Structure 1
Amino acid sequence: METQGTVLIVARASPQWSTTEEVLSEEYGYRVLVVRSAEEATSALSDAHIDLVLAEHGPSGDGLTFLVNLRVSHPDVVRVLALEAKTELSQQAISPAAIYQFVRKPLDAKQIGLVVERGLESRELSRRHRMLSREFKIRGDSLGVQQRNGASLHAESQRFEKLVYVSEKLSELCDLARKAARTELPILIQGETGTGKELLARAIHYNSPRKTSPLMVQNCGGMSDELLHSELFGHKRGAFTGAISDRLGLFRAGDGGTVFLDEISEVSPSFQVSLLRFLQEGEVKPLGSDKTQTCNVRIIAASNRPLRTLVAAGKYRQDLYFRLKGFELEVPPLRDRPVDIPALAEFLLPNTPTRWGAKF
């Protein structure tokens, strides 16, 4: 079933919410992300394209305050509030959140499905109305001015989570990334600094079967082998000076999810051996420990230097390179796709930019 949109549920764990998640996913075809706190929700909103947020309000969390803040940070997201059966809120309290609809407990999953469906339909109608109004205004202001080759003023943009584009180059890249996301193969993303490699990695994670598990991020540049080993594989207390407590390590902390390794080209030859063994066996041995444990994570690696060139120069292990590139994605700089500039500008201007995903 084709995904119809993304719903983010911010609520405590309960059978009611599990049933709601299942109905929205299986019967309506929505991608459903579930988080337990406002902090986790904020992280998901920064990584994935969310269409509707369903937040729980009551003893378990202040969903209303979250939706008030969401109206400012993500005004295009549809906001739905779930309330306890006897909870009453004043008009003064709910007005700042501009909530689309309320649902009451005990939850009726079928009813919530209809609310979500109508909410997204309403948002789409509003979007089309804005586009038509803007197009008529532009045409009215441009009477007597002919467009070259009859082209429209604005091409319709596409998006892959936080990556916005109209160019054929990025369209082909994102189509390949979507296919890669559905597999369990490691992915190698290459491109110049600032082209949006981390945005692409996060988009792949949230479109993979691991989307409900952790996404852990580690920059490998400028780190000693000991520190990098500690960050990824963990350590035992007393393993080295300053190790005052046990550390789990990102591989074990992200078990079942994805680990994004940025600047993978900068790791030393000796650490390349450790990483290769992990990719082959899935084995983790913390510093200072004599026990080996296994964990299941998907590796997405990124490099601003072509690993193929480093391999040819004898500066990078060929076997590690082949292990990392189950899929190999190359992100082009913005100067090679200037047609994307208007779409990016339109996307970034209405919001406060948190990261810039393209390089001139």
Structure 2
Amino acid sequence: MNLLIVDDEVSFRVHLRHVFERKGYQVAEAADGFEAIDKAKETLFDVVLLDIILPDIDGIEVLKQLHLSSPFTQIIMMTGNATVENAIASMKLGAYDYLVKPFDFEELSILVNRAFELARLKREREAAEHEKFLKSRFEEFIGQSEHTRQILQLVEKVAPTNSTVLITGETGTGKELVAKAIYRKSARSDKPFIVINCSAMQDTLLESELFGYIKGAFTGAVKNKSGLIEVVNSGTLFLDEIGDVSPEFQTKLLRFLESGEYRPLGSTHTYKSDVRIIAATNRDLKELMKQGKFREDLFYRLNVFNIHLLPLRERPEDIPVLVEHFLSKSCFALKKCVKKCSPQAMKILQDYSWPGNVRELENVLERAVILCDGNQIKEDDLPGDIKSLATAPLSDSNLKLEEVERQHILRVLQETNGNKTRAAQLLGISKKSLYFKLRKYHLEKE
């Protein structure tokens, strides 16, 4: 509880200070208006006891200045020469109360406590609103490139419809953020939004999660269980990594997309549900169709409206705004104040190819904020492999993006002593995607 006493009478200030220090307040003093304004810029005061008659400037003017620097501070005006005009002027300018000297110190103490409670409640309300704003901002798909603007335009167009959407793009490009943006702008935004990672579940588990099951459908099914299709009724279901599901499950999903009907595991009854499906994949579904691993009819059911996200290396204009965004997010989570990157650090971030895309950038910046000792990210706060790859001169042997990605994965694995779980986290990709890349680049033995 911080209290500022502004009065030119030394004995009066000292007496008030002793009264409130005994009650547990942190008390500061100011002998005139300018000193009060300066102290309010340095310290956040909960309550100010402000005399109207001061030797330099009028207390009413000080009241105006204090409200500009700290709108939540509660100001109690004091005067030995009460006038109706001063009282009205003070209250109009937002003073908490107006007291005439001499006054009862116990009554003043009660008044100060009430003013403090009001200041605390206003600050807590503002902090909650600010946190709510930040959290909503952290779920936005952001950028300033022409590609990002086009994506946001597509979201605006498709969101109000009930059409199925297929979002494609490399791992870490922000497919789930686009799905959430579609959901928030849709007529279903007041209904549930549930995410299912298809690659993380076996077929039977995925089917039971989506469609539910009845008692006795399998060992351990001791009672009926509703599936997410039923739970999300009238809402939106986001099926991530849809390219990883088996042909058997594809058949059941196709049936639901065509008719809205589903059958819980073990049941002979068919039910209906109104659910909007948004799907996403980092795989080439057309290539999987050629290989017979993905149903052509399901592809066309999912691909009613396609949104393709470019990798970060193909939209470098987005990097500065993403850096600002993730610095804000990391500082909020880590309770630090890092405002920007140095020009050298920003150049490294823009020169790097980002095989893990936006997710890798977020991880790198969170690490940098932890390491940063000042208010800006420096070159030394960035991982060594990123600095070396970003600054390495391009030769004929490393002009190909695949070779850059191969070398980067190898370096990250060396840095983590072969810990693939940690390497996948640093790269901003799933462990399954890492294993796929290890096979692709013949890195298993290395």
Normalised TM-score (structure 1): 0.56
| 1:94 Cα offset (Å) | 0.6
| Cα distance in structure 2, aligned partners of 1:304 and 1:169 | 18
| 1:341 Cα offset (Å) | 0.8
| 1:221 Cα offset (Å) | 0.7
Q: 1:333 aligns with which of 311, 322, 326?
A: 311
Q: After superposition, where does 1:87-236 map in structure 2 within 5 Å?
A: 90-91=117-118, 93-99=120-126, 162-236=140-214
Aligned to 2:252: 274
| 1:225 Cα offset (Å) | 1.8
| Cα distance in structure 2, aligned partners of 1:311 and 1:338 | 32
Instruction: Calculate the aligned-residue CA RMSD, in Å.
Output: 2.6
- Counterpart of 2:161, as a letter, is T
- Counterpart of 2:198, as a letter, is C
- Counterpart of 2:121, as a letter, is I
Q: 1:295 aligns with which of 257, 273, 277?
A: 273
**8 Å CA contact retained: 1:178, 1:207:** yes
| 1:161 Cα offset (Å) | 5.6
| Cα distance in structure 2, aligned partners of 1:222 and 1:163 | 24
Secondary structure of 2:149's partner? helix
Which has more strand, going by share of residues? 1
| 1:358 Cα offset (Å) | 4.4
Q: Structure 1 residue 319 and structure 2 residue 346: aligned?
A: no
- Indicate how the Cα distance of structure 1 residues 299 and 160 shifts in structure 2: closer, same or farther if over 3 A, else same: farther
Q: 1:259 aligns with which of 237, 247, 251?
A: 237
**8 Å CA contact retained: 1:185, 1:298:** yes
**8 Å CA contact retained: 2:168, 2:280:** yes
Normalised TM-score (structure 2): 0.46
| Cα distance in structure 2, aligned partners of 1:358 and 1:231 | 27
- Counterpart of 2:118, as a letter, is Q
- Counterpart of 2:277, as a letter, is I
| 1:176 Cα offset (Å) | 1.0
| Cα distance in structure 2, aligned partners of 1:176 and 1:262 | 19
Task: Write out per-residue CA displacement over residues 95-148 of structure 1, whole angstroms, 9 at most, x where no aligned residue.
Answer: 441539xxxxxxxxxxxxxxxxxx99xxxxxxxxxxxxxxxxxxxxxxxxxxxx
The gaps in structure 2 that reach 5 residues or longer are: 1-113, 131-136, 334-356, 362-446
| 1:252 Cα offset (Å) | 0.7
Which has more helix, going by share of residues? 2
| 1:263 Cα offset (Å) | 0.7
Aligned residues: 217
- Counterpart of 1:290, as a letter, is T
| Cα distance in structure 1, aligned partners of 2:260 and 2:300 | 16
| Cα distance in structure 2, aligned partners of 1:177 and 1:95 | 37
- Indicate how the Cα distance of structure 1 residues 252 and 165 shifts in structure 2: closer, same or farther if over 3 A, else same: same
Larger deviation: 305-314 or 291-300?
305-314
**8 Å CA contact retained: 2:195, 2:239:** yes
| Cα distance in structure 2, aligned partners of 1:240 and 1:161 | 39
- Counterpart of 1:215, as a letter, is F
Q: Structure 1 residue 351 and structure 2 residue 329: aligned?
A: yes
Q: 2:286 aligns with which of 285, 291, 308?
A: 308
**8 Å CA contact retained: 2:237, 2:275:** yes
| Cα distance in structure 2, aligned partners of 1:214 and 1:223 | 21
Secondary structure of 2:258's partner? helix
| Cα distance in structure 2, aligned partners of 1:160 and 1:95 | 24
The gaps in structure 1 that reach 5 residues or longer are: 1-87, 101-118, 121-158
| 1:223 Cα offset (Å) | 2.3
| Cα distance in structure 1, aligned partners of 2:188 and 2:197 | 21
Q: After superposition, where does 1:2-151 map in structure 2 within 5 Å?
A: 90-91=117-118, 93-99=120-126
| Cα distance in structure 2, aligned partners of 1:174 and 1:358 | 19
| Cα distance in structure 1, aligned partners of 2:359 and 2:329 | 16
**8 Å CA contact retained: 2:138, 2:329:** no
Task: Write out per-residue CA displacement over residues 201-254 of structure 1, whole angstroms, 9 at most, x where no aligned residue.
Answer: 111111111111100111111422211110000011221112233221111100
| Cα distance in structure 2, aligned partners of 1:319 and 1:284 | 18
Secondary structure of 1:349's partner? helix
Larger RCO (CA within 8 A; separation ≥ 6): 1
**8 Å CA contact retained: 1:333, 1:359:** no
**8 Å CA contact retained: 1:333, 1:358:** no
| Cα distance in structure 1, aligned partners of 2:315 and 2:223 | 49
- Counterpart of 2:271, as a letter, is Q
Secondary structure of 2:215's partner? coil
- Counterpart of 2:292, as a letter, is G
Task: Write out per-residue CA displacement over residues 242-291 of structure 1, whole angstroms, 9 at most, x where no aligned residue.
Answer: 22332211111000010000110111111111000000010121112121
